[in-house]
Amino acid sequence: MNWLIDLFTPSSHSLANTIMLYSFVIFTGIFLGKVKILGVSLGVTFVLFVGLLMGHLGFGVQPDTLHFLREFGLILFIFSIGMQVGPGFFSSFKEGGIRMNALAMLGIGLNVVVMLVIFFCQQAAGGATTIFEMVGIMSGAVTNTPGLGAAQQTMLQVNADAYDISQQMSMGYAAAYPLGVIGIILVMILIKKFFRIDVDKEIEVIEDDKKASLMAPHRVTFRLTNELIEGLTVRKLHTLISADFVLSRVETVAGNEVIPNGEYVLQKDDLVLVICSVKDEEIFNRFIGPKVEKKWEVEKGPIVSRRIIVTKTEYNGAKLGSLHMRTAYGLNVTRVNRAGVDLLASPNIRLQMGDRITVVGKLEDINSVADKLGNSMKRLNEPNLITMFIGIFLGILVGSIPLQFPGMSVPMKLGLAGGPLVVAILLSAYGTKIHLVTYTNSSANLLLREIGICLFLASVGIAAGKNFAATVFNLQGALWVGYGFLITFIPLLVVGIVARAKYKMNYLLIMGMISGNYTDPPALAYGNKVANNDYPAVAYSTVYPLTMFMRVIVAQVIILCFL
């Protein structure tokens, strides 16, 4: 029985004991994180609190092992986030995204201001909370774990003996986190009450706006009545109309259905199926003729429409025009679906692994192209580990580059958090240009992300648990909770009021924006439940990439400025 006693002895630091401890902390934390209190659950973050409890009970891990698991978990988590948000990172600055991201940056700035005001006020009153502990409190208040990890990693990079300070930051984070989640939801409720918002009316407004400003490609049929373009080729029509469009199919006066290539000559009374954006529909109405209602057969007859998945690596990064679909196969490509978003099939668009291209033509020709491009769901399920570890390698390299800024006593480094995040964003956004396969299915990405964050949170909790109760469950701990709530509540309320009062932003988008500003999934889940649709999630994903990046950078900058 000694082997069993040794296995469960807190002071035992054997490999088996360490693995069992991490396993217990993680599965218990995930299980308890699903429990909802007043409709809100903490999710995977509960792993941190189970780790704190086990650390308080005396369980521990050898320092080198704990340090490796914590940092490697953080790298996996950060890199997976970067690969997820990278494709939409730069496009999030377009159109309405600029305003939402600007408001999110205002929120980050106000978080820092409120934190610094509290710090200097409590210092003037003889308080003992350090700026490093305040950074931990701020990370918990905005429910941003990567910010905490980046700050801790920066601290240890500059001073390898600052382990105790790093643990204090973890305690501040844990003290502020629960009220951070509650504070976000409280702001949503207050904005709704203050502005007397009717959610049903907000849904109607946003759906009307969506119809009016739809940029995605859609199908519309016109009858050719303009004598000025009668007899012109499709290629010539493209030179006359500046908008992006695809002539998918044509039905002649005789009732024959054809796939028009660049040399097809347009004839009077042809029915032309055009793929374009809603905003450009009026252009075709004036150039070609009136819009008509017609149901085009997509499953029967000699001409069909199918979706083909790009799964062969040799076409990753290739331009759509280089495939010569019309000339070589007699097919028209009408749309490219990427990550659930339909894009117009421009010849210059670069294909990526996982793209779903919609083609129109004869079935045998479509099957030939499908074989050429792969069209294999099984291939998409295979993880691209080469890209992942190339990215981590380059991320650590970039994160180690010293950057000297005026006013800082030591050079700034992006570190093990910022470096992989920057590289992951760039690789996922532009990797196809160097024919690097960056596609990872959502399940694989989520698995890596969850494993990474669980390892990180468990490590943080176990390490900080020994002194957590003595530090937090007293007057100082109560003050930390209060500081955290102020850092959560004040900036978010200001941002919400500005968004609604000044910019008349839709309430559904406000809920998503402030959830994304604090990168908080539980708050987003609450917003989606209130809206009963995914509109808050759209705003969340718009501000999430830049916010995540800035939270990581800001936490490091504050640490370096006060060293």
**Better-predicted residue by pLDDT, 17 or 492:** 492
How does pLDDT run across 342-375, given as a tens digit for each residue? 676 777 777 877 788 888 878 788 888 888 888 8
User: Could you tell me where the beta strands, DSSP code E, fall in 281-395?
Assistant: 291-292, 304-309, 332-338, 341-344, 356-361
CA distance 23 to 32: 14
End-to-end CA distance of the chain: 51
Q: Which residue has the tokens 């999110």?
A: 104
Q: What's the pLDDT at 490?
A: 95
Residue 412 above 80 pLDDT? no
Mean pLDDT value across the chain: 81
Residues 6+ apart with CB under 8 A from 445: 80, 83, 84
List, in sequence order, every residue forming a beta bridge with 247; answer none if it has no partner. 274
Residue 106 above 90 pLDDT? yes
Beta carbons within 10 angstroms of residue 37's beta carbon? 9
Sign of the alpha-carbon torsion through 316, 317, 320, 321: negative
- What three-state secondary structure class fits 359? strand
**What is the pTM assigned to this prediction?**
0.65
Rounded mean pLDDT of 64-83?
Answer: 83
- What three-state secondary structure class fits 273? strand
Note whether 224 and 264 are within 8 A (CB).
no
Task: Give the highest mean pLDDT range of 44-58, 64-78, 211-225, 490-504.
Answer: 490-504
Residue 395's nearest CA partner among 145, 69, 72 is 72
Q: What's the pLDDT at 97?
A: 78
List, in sequence order, every residue forming a beta bridge with 250; answer none if it has no partner. 258, 272
For 108, phi then psi, to 5°, come to -65, -45
Note whether 484 and 140 are within 8 A (CB).
yes
Give me the DSSP letters along 477-491: HHHHHHHHHHHHHHH
> What is the Cα gyration radius of the chain?
28
Q: Which residue has the tokens 């990370």?
A: 139
Residues 6+ apart with CB under 8 A from 491: 106, 107, 110, 111, 113, 114
Specify the amino acid at residue 2.
N
Q: At what angle do helices 199-212 and 521-531 cross, to 10 degrees?
A: 90
- In the chain, domain spans: 18-26+41-205+384-561, 214-379
Residue 492 above 90 pLDDT? yes
Note whether 135 and 151 are within 8 A (CB).
yes
Specify the amino acid at residue 89.
F
Q: How confident is the model at residue 212 (pLDDT cuts 50, 70, 90)?
A: very low
Q: How many CA atoms lie within 13 A of 161 on its CB side?
A: 0
**Better-predicted residue by pLDDT, 519 or 6:** 519
Rounded mean pLDDT of 213-232?
Answer: 77
- What three-state secondary structure class fits 223? strand
Residues 6+ apart with CB under 8 A from 95: none
**Better-predicted residue by pLDDT, 463 or 377:** 463
Fold of 214-379: Alpha-Beta Plaits (3.30.70)
